[in-house]
């Protein structure tokens, strides 16, 4: 009798197992006596920890964003001041930053293109290219969907045959270039396009155009 009773009890217990909770072991009782802390302390602790983690992550990211903002303001403000009529040196801002590794390849990469372009193109061509460049850059900036890092500049690289054309005036050009260099603008143009051969030749012209049009006092 007792055996039957036991069997029926265990079979009743087995049939009481819920569909998916196969690992709920009802045969081994869990005693709830003598609990020091609250029953749901693990649950509460877990959710509090999770909330703290997410909020912490958010604050860290926001803080990183905010520390970036003041640096961002200067080039933008300088930009607006530059365009109407004066050229200022923006290089100092870049030099103060820790990301020199990123700024240097930009300079070395673009310098050659500037110089190449200055030697090759005439004033009239620059005039013509300016309107085209303005419109197409807007398009390219819209379609370009990602930030491109220094790799793009390095990959675009220095076309060796072109370098040979500019050796003699290179130092002079560099001085002029650096004094008129406006990294945010140029990098915008540079990065906002898919770089092809014609683009690389094309883009410096717009920046150069802007600089040449505005009377520049080298400081």
Residues making contact with another protein (CB under 8 A): 13-21, 23-26, 28-32, 35, 37, 39-43, 46, 50, 53-54, 57-58, 61-62, 64-65, 68, 71-72, 75-76, 94, 97, 99, 102-103, 106, 141, 144-149, 151-152, 155, 183-184, 187-188, 191-192, 195
Measured between alpha carbons, how far is residue 35 from residues 29, 44, 46, 52 in Å?
Answer: 15, 16, 18, 26
Which of 167, 153, 143, 166 lies closest to 203 in space, CA to CA?
153
Q: Please identify, using beta-carbon distances, which residue of 67 and 123 lies nearer to another protein.
A: 67
Q: Please identify, using beta-carbon distances, which residue of 2 and 145 lies nearer to another protein.
A: 145
Q: Please identify, using beta-carbon distances, which residue of 28 and 167 lies nearer to another protein.
A: 28
Measured between alpha carbons, how far is residue 50 from residues 41, 53, 54, 63 in Å?
Answer: 14, 5, 6, 20
Question: How near is the Cβ of 42 to another protein at its closest, in Å?
Answer: 5
Is there a contact between 203 and 190 (Cβ–Cβ < 8 Å)? Answer: yes
Question: How near is the Cβ of 103 to another protein at its closest, in Å?
Answer: 7
Question: How near is the Cβ of 76 to another protein at its closest, in Å?
Answer: 7
Residue written as token pair 């140029």: 186
């Amino acid at each position: 009798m007792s055996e039957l009773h036991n069997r029926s009890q265990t079979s009743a217990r087995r049939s009481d197992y819920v569909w998916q909770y196969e690992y709920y072991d009802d045969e081994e009782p869990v005693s709830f006596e003598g609990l020091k802390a609250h029953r749901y302390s693990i649950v509460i602790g877990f959710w509090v920890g999770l909330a703290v983690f997410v909020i912490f992550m958010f604050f860290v990211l926001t803080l990183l964003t905010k520390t970036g903002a003041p640096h961002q303001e200067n080039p933008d403000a300088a930009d607006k001041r530059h365009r109407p009529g004066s050229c200022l040196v923006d290089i100092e801002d870049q030099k103060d930053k820790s990301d020199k590794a990123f700024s240097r390849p930009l300079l070395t990469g673009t310098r050659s293109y500037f110089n190449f372009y200055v030697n090759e193109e005439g004033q009239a061509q620059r005039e013509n290219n300016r309107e085209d460049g303005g419109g197409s850059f807007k398009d390219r900036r819209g379609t370009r969907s990602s930030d491109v890092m220094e790799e793009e500049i390095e990959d675009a690289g220095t076309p060796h045959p072109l370098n040979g054309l500019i050796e003699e005036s290179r130092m002079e050009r560099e001085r002029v270039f650096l004094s008129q260099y406006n990294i945010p603008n140029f990098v915008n143009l540079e990065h906002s396009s898919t770089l092809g051969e014609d683009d690389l030749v094309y883009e410096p012209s717009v920046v150069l155009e802007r600089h040449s049009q505005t009377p520049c006092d080298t400081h």
